[in-house]
Structure 1
Amino acid sequence: MQSFRLTLANNGVVQGAHAIPTQSPSPVRYRPLIVALHGGGYDHQYFDALPGYSASLMSNALATPFVTIDRPSYGGTSSILPIPSGSDFTTESAIQLHRFILPKLWEEFGVPHGCTCIVLLCHSLGVMPGIAVAALHGDERTPDYPLGGIIASGMGNTQSQSAKDNPPQYPRVDDNHALCPTELKDAVMFKPGTYAPEMLEQTERLNAICPIPEIAGFVTQWMPVWKEKWAPAVKVPVMYSLVEDDPFFEATQEEVDNCVKAFTNSIRVEGSLIRGAPHCVELSYWAQGWYARCFGFALECAASFVVSG
C-alpha cells in the first residue's frame, strides 16, 4: 500500500495507507471506498501486515479502493487527549472521524475514484468509534460524506472470564500511553496453528503505543451503554462477526445474535461466528477469506446505496 498524510480542516492530521486500483474505466459500476479502523495496540499497518495477508489483494482483485488509517491518538494521526470532562474516548474519536477525517478521506480518495459511499471496516476496539460514527451519521440531515455500511469484528457484548480476571496492565510509556509487551501480544492475539510463523516476525513492527483512556475505559464506558446509546442510531447496513473462543469476549452464536439485535433501526444486519480463527483474524490463515466477505458486503452496500437510495 502507499502511505499518505493529510491535513484536516481543523489543522489536525490523519496518517495511513491506501490501495487504489488503477483499472480505468473501473469494471465495477458501484464501488465503495472502504475505510479500515484498527484495534487497540495496532496502527494502520494492521491491514497490510504481509503481502499475502494484505487487504490490498482483494482491493486489486475487485477494483475497490481501500484506505487504512491510524485512529485518533494513534501513530501519526492527531491526538484527542486529554478527553474533556463529561465525555469519553469513543465519543471524542467518533467526533474527530465524523467531522474531519472521513470527509477528508472522501474528498481525497472517494470522489476522485468514482466511489458511491464509504463502508467502514472495524476491528476490535476500532468497532467502538466505528459504531459511534455510524450513529452520528444517522443523526445528520446533511452529512459531509456518504456512509453506506459498517463491518465489525472482534468486539463482543460480554467480557470473557479470563479478561475479567486479567485486565490489561501494559507498561506505561508516559502518563497517557502504554505499550503491550510483544510476547504477551503473540500469546493473546493468536491461537496455535492459526497463523503463519513469519507473521510473528512482524509483531514488533505492528505493535503500537495505545492511549490509556481507550484501554481503561471500554469496559466501563462502552460495554454497558452501546446497545442503548449508539446501536439504535445506526441506519446503514451492518455486518457483525466474532471469532470462536475470543480471549476478550464471550463468543458464541447467542452472543453474535445479541449484538445483531441491538441495531434496531439498521436497514440490514447480519452476523456470523468464525469458528477456529484467532482474535486477529486479519493476521491469520482466515485473512483473505474474511476480506473476501468484507469486500463483497461492501460492494453490496455500494449498490444498495445508489439503487435503493
Structure 2
Amino acid sequence: MGPFTLPLADGNRITGLLCFPPKPTQPPKGIPLVVTVHGGTYTASYYDADAVHTISNPAKALSIPVVALTRPGYGDSTALPPLREGETWNKQTGTYIHEQILPAIWKAYGARTGASSIVLHSHSIGASIAIVTTALHNRSPDTASYPLSGLVTSGIGAKLADEPAEHDASHADKNASLSQIDTYEPRPGEDAPMMTWPVEAKDAMMLCSQTGLCDPELLKGTTAKLNHPSSILEPVDIRRQWPKYWHGYAADITVPHMYAVGSEDALWMTEKKWVDAYAAAFSRSARMEAAALPFAPHCIELSHLGQSWLARTLGFAGECAVWDVLRKEKEAGGE
C-alpha cells in the first residue's frame, strides 16, 4: 500500500495508506470505497503490517479500493484539540471523521476509484469511533457530503471482560501507567497524558502470542513497529464512558453491519449471549451479521484467520455497495 496525505477543509491533514487495484473490465453494479479505522496504539499500518498480513491482498483479488486512515493524533495526522465539556474521545473523533475526513476522502478518491459509496472497516476503539460516525451519517443521510452503505466492526462487544492481568503498574511506562485508566479524570481543555504499551504485554493481550493464534514471525519485530503511543483518553472512554452511551448511537445505524469478535479476545466477553446482545443493539440495521470467530484473538486482522476475515468483510462491503445502488434505484422508481 502507498502513503497519502490529504488536506482537510479546516486546515488540518489526514494521512494513511492507499490500495487502488485496477478497475474491473466489467464493473459490478456498485463498488465500495473501503475506509479502515484502526484501534488504539496502532496506525494505518495495522491493515498493512507486512506482505502477508495486509488488506491489500484480498482488495486486489476482489478489485476493491481501500483507504486506510491514520487517525488524528497518530503519526503525521493532525491531532484534535483537547476535549470540550460533554465530549469523549470517541464522540469527538467520530464526529470529526464524519464532518471533515470522509467528505475529503470521497471528494479526492470517490470518482477516481469508480466507487459508488463508502464502507467503514473498523477495529477495537476504532470500531466505537466508526459506530459514532455511521450513526451521525445515518441520522441525516440526505444532507451528508458522502454516501455510506455499510459498516464492519471487530474487536469490540456488548460487555467488557474482567480486568486483564496485563493492566497493572508493573507494565507502566514513563508517560502513563495502564493502572491510571480507571482513576484518570478527564478535564475539558486539558492535554491528557500519553501511554505506550510494552510490546510483550501487548502481544499477549492482543494476539494471544503464547497460544499459537498468530504467526510467530509477526512477533519478531513487526508488532513492535506497529506499536504507537496513544492518549489515555482512548481507554478511559472505551472502559468507563462508552458503556453508558453506545446504545444511543447503535440504535441510529440503518446500513448493513458485519461484526465479529475473536473467541479468545481478552478485552471483551465473547459468549453467544454477549454477541447476541451486541447485535440486538443495532435494531434498525438493514442487515446484521454477528459471530464469535473460534481461535481468534482480539486483533483478528493480524491472526491466522486475518486474511480470511478480511476477504469476507471486503466481500460484504461489495454487497453493501450493490445493495445501496439498487435501493436508491428502487426508491427513485427505477427498474
Is it true that 1:216 corresponds to 2:236 in the alignment?
yes
Q: What per-residue deviation string (whole Å, max 9, x for no partner) do you get for residues 107-154 of structure 1?
A: 112222110110000101101110000110011231000000100001
Q: For 1:236-251, list aligned pairs within 5 A.
A: 236-251=255-270
After TM superposition, the runs of 4+ consecutive aligned structure 1 residues lying more than 4 A away are: 167-170
Partners of 1:110 and 1:167 in 2: CA distance: 45
**Displacement after TM superposition at 1:176 (Å):** 2.6
Gaps of 5+ in 2: 177-191, 329-335
Is it true that 1:308 corresponds to 2:309 in the alignment?
no
C-alpha contact 1:194 1:285 (8 A) present in aligned 2: yes
Partners of 2:166 and 2:233 in 1: CA distance: 20
Letter in 1 for 2:134: A
C-alpha contact 1:31 1:299 (8 A) present in aligned 2: yes
For residue 125 of structure 1, what is the aligned residue in structure 2? 125
For residue 181 of structure 1, what is the aligned residue in structure 2? 198
Q: Residue 173 of structure 2 is aligned with which of 167, 171, 174?
A: 171
C-alpha contact 1:163 1:249 (8 A) present in aligned 2: no
Letter in 2 for 1:184: A
Partners of 1:167 and 1:137 in 2: CA distance: 38
Is it true that 1:202 corresponds to 2:222 in the alignment?
yes
For residue 185 of structure 2, what is the aligned residue in structure 1? none
For residue 79 of structure 2, what is the aligned residue in structure 1? 79
Letter in 2 for 1:171: D
**Displacement after TM superposition at 1:173 (Å):** 3.7
Q: For 1:53-202, list aligned pairs within 5 A.
A: 53-140=53-140, 141-163=142-164, 166=167, 170-173=172-175, 175-191=192-208, 192-200=211-219, 201-202=221-222
Gaps of 5+ in 1: none
Gap change, CA 1:274 and 1:289, over 3 Å in 2: same
C-alpha contact 1:194 1:277 (8 A) present in aligned 2: yes
**Displacement after TM superposition at 1:274 (Å):** 0.2
**Displacement after TM superposition at 1:105 (Å):** 0.9
Partners of 2:254 and 2:168 in 1: CA distance: 33
Letter in 2 for 1:186: D
For residue 298 of structure 1, what is the aligned residue in structure 2? 317
Gap change, CA 1:100 and 1:26, over 3 Å in 2: farther
Any idea what SS the aligned residue of 1:42 has?
A: coil
C-alpha contact 1:33 1:119 (8 A) present in aligned 2: yes
Letter in 2 for 1:58: P
Gap change, CA 1:26 and 1:77, over 3 Å in 2: farther
Any idea what SS the aligned residue of 1:3 has?
A: strand
Letter in 1 for 2:300: V
Gap change, CA 1:205 and 1:166, over 3 Å in 2: closer
The number of residue pairs the alignment matches comes to 308
Any idea what SS the aligned residue of 1:222 has?
A: helix
Cα RMSD of the aligned pairs, angstroms, is 1.7
Q: What per-residue deviation string (whole Å, max 9, x for no partner) do you get for residues 73-101 of structure 1?
A: 22221112311112111111011100110
Gap change, CA 1:213 and 1:20, over 3 Å in 2: same
Quote the sequence identity (%).
33
**Displacement after TM superposition at 1:163 (Å):** 3.3
Letter in 2 for 1:47: Y
Gap change, CA 1:2 and 1:50, over 3 Å in 2: same
Partners of 2:14 and 2:88 in 1: CA distance: 20
C-alpha contact 2:28 2:322 (8 A) present in aligned 1: no
Partners of 1:116 and 1:26 in 2: CA distance: 15
Partners of 2:17 and 2:100 in 1: CA distance: 17
Letter in 1 for 2:250: A
Partners of 1:306 and 1:167 in 2: CA distance: 50
Gap change, CA 1:125 and 1:172, over 3 Å in 2: farther
Letter in 2 for 1:146: P
For residue 20 of structure 1, what is the aligned residue in structure 2? 20
Q: Residue 280 of structure 1 is aligned with which of 295, 299, 322?
A: 299
